[in-house]
Amino acid sequence: MIQSLTARFLEPVWIYGIFGSLGGLALVFITPPFQVADEPNHFFRAYQVSQGELVGQVAPGEQYAGGLIPDSLSQTVSHLARDVPFHPEQKYSVSWLEGAFAMDLDPERDTFLGFSNTVLYSPVSYAPQAAAIALGRAFDPPPIVLFYMGRIAALAFAVLLGCWTLHIIPFFRWPLLLLLLMPMTLFQSASVSADVVTNALSIAFFGSILRGVADSSGPVSSARKIEWVALFVLVTLAKSVYVLLGLLIFLIPADSFGSRRRQLVFLAIFFAVGMVAFAGWSHLANSVYVPHNPNRHTDMHEQLRLVAANPIGFLKIVAHAFMYQQEAYRYMFVGVLGWLDTHLPNSLLDAYALLLLLAAAFDGHPDVRLGLVRRAWVCAIAVAGLLGVSLSLYCLWSAVGSPVLDSMQGRYFIPLAPVLLLGLYNMALAGVVKPWHKAAIVVPSLVLTWAITIHRLLGRYYLP
């Protein structure tokens, strides 16, 4: 019985449930309020959604977009954030929290706050955070209490959906486990950021598709089809650029649908519903779009026209960025925390990236072969996803006509990472390393990674 119990706790789903819950809760309270990138604006948008305001507003004069929310939220952010972001030498004082807990919510005293970047996100991106904030508002607590409720709800959503994903997939669980527990992924999961929902839904959709790829028990059930459509729509609404992940549906074998006709009917419905969601929210977001980079002339529509007129020039810009910034992107992907001002040791970041690649190469299913065509399709989706993310950032943050791709951060690759890792799938290596051996490597690696991460965060914010 003891051996059976030990084996169960060394399963990826149990490892993630334990590490994700305990490590995530530690991050919720160790990471000071608003010390995750853009967290103040994410908090404002989550509160706005909790009030039932699904679409934001453009301020008079059309200089910025946001909405009416209690002024106490802005005061709380100013009181707690101070000059800590971007200044690694600045420490955080726990005594500041005392003042924050003394602030009244005072919901009737509202003001128009600008959060032009996060107002573009759909309510789906803030569903768990907004639900917790809406519940908390009934008791009229200080804004800081609502903030922590939002963090905890986001973490719970990420952990539960991650556990579901690891439970349903028959293979590729170890690389997904490492991705879910990667410092950057879990750090984001313990915040009120929209990235929490985007990452969790994207990985869940990928896992659901993998289950379909490996399932040879007969025609796909209606419930499974509804699951794919629902997850695709939610991913698209969480962050429109990841609509390209819907192309993974073509990995499902045609005979899984019973006939070619049934497959084509399903694909038509699948993409029609997804495109309606994509177009619908894009239209609503465009109604509140205001160029939100105050340091340079940015205009999404004008930039798009330039890219359309010279797509080769844009591809050269992207290629240059990835060629000369690949190390920075890799480090930011694994774990440059805070406002990109809290660096984990480079040796740890390199080792974790290598372990992630090895886990993907040595994980597989005895009955699943990707083949040349499907492998090429996976690579095409990955490349298209990277180009889509690059185009989105180029249009939103780079000056019109700029030869440089600005504001690219490694965390934007997390939803695409499962697809990139699947490109390393090698069935011939799948049985070389046994599950027990994988656990013996992965668990100590995670313990060491998170011991270093927690120590580095304590040193960054609290220790002299």
pLDDT tens per residue, range 23-79: 999 999 999 999 999 999 999 999 999 999 999 999 877 688 999 999 999 999 999
3-state secondary structure of 66: strand
3-state helix, strand, coil in the chain (%, to 5): 70, 5, 30
Enter the pTM of the model: 0.95
Mean pLDDT across the stretch 128-140?
Answer: 97
Q: How far apart are alpha carbons 143 and 367 in whole angstroms?
A: 53
Per-residue DSSP letter, 175: H
Q: Where does 31-70 have alpha helices with state H?
A: 39-50
Ramachandran quadrant class, 93 (left: phi over 0; alpha: psi -120 to 50; beta: rest): beta
The model's confidence at residue 5, banded by pLDDT at 50, 70 and 90, is very low
Mean pLDDT across the stretch 132-158?
Answer: 97
Question: What are the angstrom distances between the C-alpha of 133 and each of 4, 49, 115, 441, 446?
Answer: 41, 9, 18, 40, 32
The mean pLDDT of the chain is 93
Per DSSP, what are the bridge partners of residue 58? 65
pLDDT at 321 over 50: yes
Q: How far apart are alpha carbons 196 and 188 in whole angstroms?
A: 6
Q: How far apart are alpha carbons 292 and 370 in whole angstroms?
A: 43
- What is the total count of domains within the chain? 1
Q: How far apart are alpha carbons 366 and 168 in whole angstroms?
A: 17
Q: How far apart are alpha carbons 391 and 211 in whole angstroms?
A: 31
Query: Domain range spanning residue 236?
Result: 2-461
What tens digit of pLDDT does each residue of 403-424 get? Answer: 999 889 999 999 999 999 999 8
The model's confidence at residue 3, banded by pLDDT at 50, 70 and 90, is very low
